[in-house]
A and B are shown apart, each in its own frame.
Chain A
């Protein structure tokens, strides 16, 4: 199967097989827009996010490695001491979590002691945490500051690296889609939104941009010689770049997802809620969404921004006009011409405006290429 994958990779590389990522961008944008609307609507209909204790404030106790995982014990203990109704959950085998509203220091110690007695465990097995009501807000605020700084720096960096602000604008705009969709899917899972999850969301930005950098770098490479040739249009070259990096994109997201998936698995099933689980879920969703976004949103967005530039437009028109003249029938979305039976063929020579320039032109374009056929048989089969 890997061989089949590689073969597909080769065909994508040459452009023989291609997916019309750029050509069908209207469709992708529409799907992306629908996804974003859904991602906004889902938390709305579910009555907001399931905010973790870090955002609401309160106390949390974790009893680990207990034989007795009866929920009612914890509920009784808390109501006896503070008169509150506690949320008690058996989050993993042998682990019980008790969440209460804010308790003062004394009550915290008392509840911890009482839980220890009630569940018959040692002090070593009870963990407690107290979170003030402004903590989550504070974390989010810091994150927001970080987000803004990061976006500004990365926009400048990409503009500098690619020497075009349009690429960095397209990349950053695509991040909006990544974040909104990821948050939407996250809230669909019903997991709590904790500071760990927020770290996850921020990390996704970096991951998604990382992925975009690789694809955009290939686009940059393919566009370097755009104006030196008259065979392929701008759109086809960009599409070719995405197709050429498609195998890498898939491999990248798989190697990215595998370790994160293992954290998610361990975090959810063996350890219960906590740092690992929330961060892993956010990353898991984000890596997939980020990879998809590069292909379907960010790259097409860039192509769309550039498509109406005067030089690109002129070039495209020239290429298309030449194609008619050269009698090229079907061309794949990545700009490889196909013959009637669907096999890729080389571009026929450019039509020559002046007969006396023929020799020079030939030397430049066609002669030597034919000479490469090892058995010099090119002219016979044409």
Chain B
């Protein structure tokens, strides 16, 4: 099998996801299956091809340096799971 359990765990850790053992097993197989399918891209020679860029614009638009936002901390904090004195309250970060 191409995709090992360890790999799945490494990727899950990077993505901040957690799976049960069965889910991990199932996911391993599914992802492996999908990744094998992706291998067909290797049939194509892309050595002289540039990666895709969009037709719509060729360069990123830039805006003037100006304050256009009116502060509204209350509105932004309204959906916060926890807040204190206008700070977002989160589980302790251990440095």
Whether chain B is bound by chain A comes out as no
